[in-house]
Amino acid sequence: MSRPFYITTTLPYVNDKPHVGHALEFVQADALARSRRLRDDEVFFNTGTDEHGQKIYDKAVKEGRDVKEYVDFYAERFTALKEKLNLSYDAFIRTTDEKHIQAAQEIWKRCEAAGDIYKKNYKTKYCVGCELEKTDSELVEGKCPIHLNLELQIVDEENYFFKLSKYKDALLAYLAGDVVTPLARKNDAINFVNGDGFQDFSISRLKEKMSWGIPVPGDESQVMYVWFDALTNYISTLDWPNESADSNFTKYWMNGETLQVAGKDQVRMQSIMWQAMLLSANVPPTQHVFYHGFITSGGQKMSKSLGNVLDPFDYAEEFGIDAVRYFFLRHVHPFEDSDFTRERFVESYNAGLANGLGNLASRVMKMAEEHLTEPVVVAEKEDFTDYFALLDAFKFNEASDLIWQKIAECDALIQESQPFKVVKDDAEKGRALIADLAVRLYTIGRMLNPLMPSTSQIIKDAVKANKKPENMFSRREA
Ligand SMILES: [Zn+2]
């Protein structure tokens, strides 16, 4: 058993229903959390929803809805994912929760006490899509390259600023460590700190223009900028500023191992803004951030106008939750963009699950049920050193491959030793071969736990009961 393990996703912004990127991030984080629990580590797995900001405010107003009622509606779409993707998170923090609001105000006060917050009149271009200020060098033909359909807002007011520039050296020292995976994102972070965009940023808005935010401590006329508020969730979920010896904050953030999972477009927020805020508030920075790639469809970003949007939750209903988890973990590259199409999904489902895992489980357990008089003796603890090392390195695809190598080995053993024939001539020898296969299948079941928790349980139960499981993955047409 090692140190307590803290893991968090980024918080989805609740201006829409969950999409494929959320599903990927949640499943990856869930697999990591489960793989630690399998090793008896104490785990705190956080997720939640980011509920303030201009974009949400504008959308609620446009739809004529009360803003709180609007965010409640969408937050529920995200809490429902626990069941829809079989997630094992321990906490679901909403940035409208009272304890979060208090933590966001406390971190503001600490940054202010450190001399890192000041007020200034300024004028800037602001992308509501990103909820970020944009410098001219970041624009393409005067627009945000990620949100070409949105007009940039001009913010012209007196706001509070955070002294990001003060943390240049400290951030470069932090980023020099083993704190970011993959290397390409680490380089993005270092380049950002060394570039033009690395400037003090505004952390408040005039309340009369945008009231949907956490009040700035000591200034009724301003509310906090959404990112300054939302990033604090990673410690508000641990009840910070409660820093007592028996607090979750002390246990997981101060004395544990801390890991954030985020999309590859999040480097500026997660590895720079947030880490500088922590440094300013005198809280240790996050030990590691893993940035995953994006999911495309037909080689392009999914978009309603292209008509290539695939809903992972429809696939979970049609093929089963574990089939979706399998695809995301084995057939989506952890760091680079990957394509999700129906053809690719069905092809990998048939090869890996229907013909691979499902077929092996039913063949082995059919023989076991027929020829063994009692269940095989199985070891509950096994040493999966290589497998866990790959998961700890976020190589979900390669970790999965280790399991499918074992499946292939079992298939080859059946092919070569033909236990179903041997058992007719030499019962003892045949039974020994079948028992060996059942033990191997149990190991496969155990290894599947972080990736495909229900399937793992079904296989383990079948071996322990010496009974052929129901058909798990029937073959599908594309
Ligand atoms: Zn944008």
Q: Which residues are catalytic?
A: 19, 22, 127, 130, 144, 147, 301, 304
Residue 271 belongs to a domain: yes
Which of these three, 292, 309, 331, is where a domain ends?
Answer: 292
Residue 141 belongs to a domain: yes
Q: Is the dihedral of CA 271, 2, 99, 118 positive or negative?
A: negative
Q: Across-strand partners of 288?
A: 259
Decide: 20 and 332 in contact? Cβ < 8 Å. no
- Give distance in angstroms: CA of 226 to centre of ligand 1: 14
**Is 376 found in the same domain as 274?**
no
Residue 329 belongs to a domain: no
Place of tokens 């499981």: 469
Q: Amino acid identity, residue 262? A: A
**Is 86 found in the same domain as 204?**
yes
Record the tokens describing residue 36, joined without a space: 């630690």
Q: Amino acid identity, residue 447? A: M
- Give distance in angstroms: CA of 438 to centre of ligand 1: 54
Indicate the range of 82-91, 144-153, 359-368, 447-456 predicted with least confidence.
144-153
Confidence at residue 301, expressed as pLDDT on a 0 to 100 scale:
87
**Is 110 found in the same domain as 228?**
yes
Confidence at residue 308, expressed as pLDDT on a 0 to 100 scale:
86
Average pLDDT over residues 405-423: 97
CA atoms of 204 and 208, how far apart (whole Å): 12
- Give distance in angstroms: CA of 240 to centre of ligand 1: 31
Residue 392 belongs to a domain: yes
**Is 262 found in the same domain as 364?**
no
Q: Is 90 exceeded by the pLDDT of residue 220? A: yes
Tens digits of per-residue pLDDT, 272-314? 999 999 999 999 999 999 999 999 998 888 888 888 889 999 9
**Is 63 found in the same domain as 157?**
yes
Percent of the chain with pLDDT over 70: 99
Percent of the chain with pLDDT over 90: 89
- Give distance in angstroms: CA of 128 to centre of ligand 1: 7
Write out the chain in H/E/C secondary structure.
Answer: CCCCEEEECCCCECCCCCCHHHHHHHHHHHHHHHHHHHCCCCEEEEEEEECCCHHHHHHHHHCCCCHHHHHHHHHHHHHCHHHHCCCCCCEEEECCCHHHHHHHHHHHHHHHHCCCEEEEEEEEEEECCCCEEECHHHCECCECCCCCCCCCEEEEEEEEEECHHHHHHHHHHHHCCCCEECHHHHHHHHHHHHCCCCCCEECEEECCCCCCCCEECCEEEEEECHHHHHHCHHHHCCCCCCCCCCCHHHHHHHCCEEEEEEEHHHHHHHHHHHHHHHHHCCCCCCCEEEEECCEEECCEECCCCCCCCCCHHHHHHHHCHHHHHHHHHHCCCCCCCEECCHHHHHHHHHHHHHHHHHHHHHHHHHHHHHHCCCCCCCCCCCCCHHHHHHHHCCCHHHHHHHHHHHHHHHHHHHHHHCHHHHHHHCHHHHHHHHHHHHHHHHHHHHHHCCCCHHHHHHHHHHHHHCCCCCCCCCCCCC
User: Nearest 10 degrees: CA dihedral of 357, 359, 360, 362?
Assistant: 120
- Give distance in angstroms: CA of 373 to centre of ligand 1: 65
Decide: 41 and 255 in contact? Cβ < 8 Å. no
Confidence at residue 328, expressed as pLDDT on a 0 to 100 scale:
98
Q: Is 70 exceeded by the pLDDT of residue 1? A: no
- Give distance in angstroms: CA of 57 to centre of ligand 1: 16
**Is 190 found in the same domain as 67?**
yes
Average pLDDT, rounded, for the chain? 95
Residue 236 belongs to a domain: yes
Residue 471 belongs to a domain: no
Cα angle 47-52-54, degrees, rounded to a multiple of 5: 135
Average pLDDT over residues 436-464: 98
Q: Is the dihedral of CA 134, 138, 140, 145 positive or negative?
A: negative
Domain that holds residue 455: 343-465
CA atoms of 235 and 217, how far apart (whole Å): 19
Residue 395 phi, psi (nearest 5): -90, 70
**Is 167 found in the same domain as 19?**
yes
- Give distance in angstroms: CA of 19 to centre of ligand 1: 18
CATH number assigned to the domain comprising residue 155: 3.40.50.620
Average pLDDT over residues 404-433: 97
Confidence at residue 299, expressed as pLDDT on a 0 to 100 scale:
87
- Give distance in angstroms: CA of 61 to centre of ligand 1: 20
CA atoms of 73 and 77, how far apart (whole Å): 7
Q: Amino acid identity, residue 127? A: C
Indicate the range of 33-42, 52-61, 367-376 predicted with least confidence.
52-61
Residue 255 pLDDT grade (very low, low, confident, very high; cuts 50, 70, 90): very high
Average pLDDT over residues 121-138: 90
**b/e 418-448 (16+ beta carbons within 10 angstroms → b):** ebbebbeeeeeebbebbbbbbebbbbbbbbb
Beta carbons within 8 Å of 226's beta carbon, 6+ residues apart: 50, 52, 53, 54, 131, 213
**Is 364 found in the same domain as 448?**
yes
Which of these three, 260, 292, 324, is where a domain ends?
Answer: 292
Tens digits of per-residue pLDDT, 54-86? 899 999 999 999 999 999 999 999 999 999 999
Q: Amino acid identity, residue 409? A: E
Residue 444 belongs to a domain: yes
Q: Is 80 exceeded by the pLDDT of residue 207? A: yes
Which of these three, 292, 322, 352, is where a domain ends?
Answer: 292
**Is 271 found in the same domain as 377?**
no
CATH number assigned to the domain comprising residue 396: 1.10.730.10
Residue 250 belongs to a domain: yes
Q: Across-strand partners of 107?
A: none
Confidence at residue 382, expressed as pLDDT on a 0 to 100 scale:
63
- Give distance in angstroms: CA of 111 to centre of ligand 1: 27
Confidence at residue 303, expressed as pLDDT on a 0 to 100 scale:
81
- Give distance in angstroms: CA of 286 to centre of ligand 1: 26
**Is 249 found in the same domain as 379?**
no
Beta carbons within 8 Å of 29's beta carbon, 6+ residues apart: 7, 8, 9, 45, 47, 89, 261
**Is 119 found in the same domain as 237?**
yes
Beta carbons within 8 Å of 167's beta carbon, 6+ residues apart: 276, 279, 280
CA atoms of 282 and 273, how far apart (whole Å): 14
For the chain, the domain total comes to 2
**Is 406 found in the same domain as 257?**
no
